[in-house]
């Protein structure tokens, strides 16, 4: 999926890293508000960063950011926990009414992250790793909320391009 997207959309999706399964998206016409999108990204960030590190560290040089900062995801742990209530609402909106009640379970938070992060990781190729490493090194000094906001802004740009081209966005962010 990621290799067929424009570089802007691909970068935004990776940074955003919300890999809601395509069938779930196809069943709804919902979009996430920017706040919901940011919450989903913040919630998934620790596991996504851990997956990116596991995938990329072995193929990057010793001087690479991910090789020197393998615990980057820990910086996002507090923001992740705080983001779950809003993230749950966004995920429920996109996944649809059949999935929404399942997200109220005490186990839902851990299940969502443990299922989504590997889906994103399987889209990362060794050729993506230098760019991912550079992106992460550039955004690492920023507060997690700023990184999520930037990612959602890029997703909105990619979504606008998709709409103009008559394509459905893989992760629709509402325009309002």
- Provide the terminal-to-terminal Cα distance of the chain, rounded to the nearest Å: 27
The string of pLDDT tens digits covering residues 3-30 is 444 444 444 444 444 334 444 444 456 8
From the list 127, 122, 95, 130, the residue with the least C-alpha distance to 111 is: 95
Q: Is residue 60 part of a domain?
A: yes
Higher pLDDT, 13 or 115: 115
Question: pTM, whole model, 2 decimals?
Answer: 0.79
Q: Is residue 63 part of a domain?
A: yes
The domain tally of the chain equals 1
Residue 121 pLDDT grade (very low, low, confident, very high; cuts 50, 70, 90): confident
From the list 146, 131, 113, 155, the residue with the least C-alpha distance to 20 is: 113
Query: Is there a contact between 13 and 158 (Cβ–Cβ < 8 Å)?
Result: yes
The string of pLDDT tens digits covering residues 92-109 is 888 888 888 888 887 888
Query: Is there a contact between 1 and 143 (Cβ–Cβ < 8 Å)?
Result: no
Min mean pLDDT across 53-67, 88-102, 131-145 is at 88-102
Apex 172 CA angle, 96 and 11, nearest 5: 130
Q: Is residue 50 part of a domain?
A: yes
Query: Is there a contact between 172 and 9 (Cβ–Cβ < 8 Å)?
Result: no
Q: Is residue 174 part of a domain?
A: no
Query: Is there a contact between 66 and 130 (Cβ–Cβ < 8 Å)?
Result: no
Q: Is residue 171 part of a domain?
A: no
The mean pLDDT of 116-137, rounded to a whole number, is 89
Q: Is 61 helix (H, G, I), strand (E, B) or coil?
A: coil
Domain that holds residue 70: 2-164
Maximum CA pair distance of the chain? 47
Q: Is residue 172 part of a domain?
A: no
Min mean pLDDT across 19-28, 52-61, 109-118, 167-176 is at 19-28
Q: Is residue 169 part of a domain?
A: no
Q: Is residue 86 part of a domain?
A: yes
From the list 23, 42, 5, 27, the residue with the least C-alpha distance to 151 is: 42
């Amino acid at each position: 999926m990621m290799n067929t997207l424009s570089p802007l959309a691909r970068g935004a999706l990776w940074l955003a890293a919300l890999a809601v399964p395509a069938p779930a998206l196809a069943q709804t016409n919902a979009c996430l508000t920017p706040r919901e999108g940011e919450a989903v990204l913040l919630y998934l960030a620790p596991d996504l960063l851990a997956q990116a590190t596991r995938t990329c560290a072995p193929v990057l040089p010793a001087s690479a950011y991910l090789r020197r900062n393998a615990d980057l995801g820990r910086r996002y742990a507090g923001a992740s926990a705080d983001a779950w209530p809003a993230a749950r609402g966004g995920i429920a909106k996109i996944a649809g009414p059949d999935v929404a009640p399942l997200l109220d379970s005490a186990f839902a938070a851990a299940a969502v992250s443990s299922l989504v992060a590997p889906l994103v990781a399987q889209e990362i190729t060794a050729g993506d790793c230098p760019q991912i490493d550079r992106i992460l090194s550039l955004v690492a000094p920023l507060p997690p909320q700023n990184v999520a906001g930037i990612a959602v802004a890029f997703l909105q740009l990619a979504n606008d391009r998709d709409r103009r081209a008559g394509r459905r966005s893989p992760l629709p962010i509402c325009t309002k």
